[in-house]
Amino acid sequence: MVLDTTTWVWVIVAIVVVVLIVLLLVTGSRRRAIQQKRDESHREKAAEIRRNAGDVELDARENEARASRARADAEQAQVDASRLKQEAEQKAGDARSLREDVAERTQKADALDPDTHPAPDTHPDPDTHPDGEVRADATRSEELAPDTGRADREKPISS
């Protein structure tokens, strides 16, 4: 069985085609495997990013909740401060009223007490006559000057 050259050419072409088909099948399956690995890696990365985004979202919600609580606490503190301010103003008014009442009562007591007001026949100012005129021979500077001319004043007893 002797094959002529055209047959050998066709056999070689067939072998080359079969080898090319096998190579295409092998490289195609390899590409699909690589693509599947790449896709799986991308899915894992996307899942990781989604988990991180979920964690960040939870943190953001927690921060918003804390901010809301802080805002509510601040508003409550303002309400409490207003209430305390009103209470302080009320108490200050009460204290002022009591002070005025005490002053009024003290004034009434002083008006009734003979020890706090001089009797009508005594004059508290020695320079004033009973008729209200100032004495001509007395001056205020005499009252303030030290009295050194009299020997009968109290002197310390020396032993």
Instruction: Inform me whether the pLDDT recorded for 45 exceeds 60.
Output: yes
Q: Locate tokens 């002022």: which residue?
A: 96
**Per-residue pLDDT at 136 exceeds 50:** yes
Model confidence at 125, in pLDDT bands (50, 70, 90)?
low
User: Is the pLDDT assigned to residue 141 strictly greater than 50?
Assistant: no
Q: Is residue 131's pLDDT more than 60? A: no
Task: Please determine, for residue 26, whether its predicted confidence score (pLDDT) is greater than 60.
Answer: yes
Global pTM value: 0.41
Contacts of 133 (CB under 8 A, 6+ apart): none
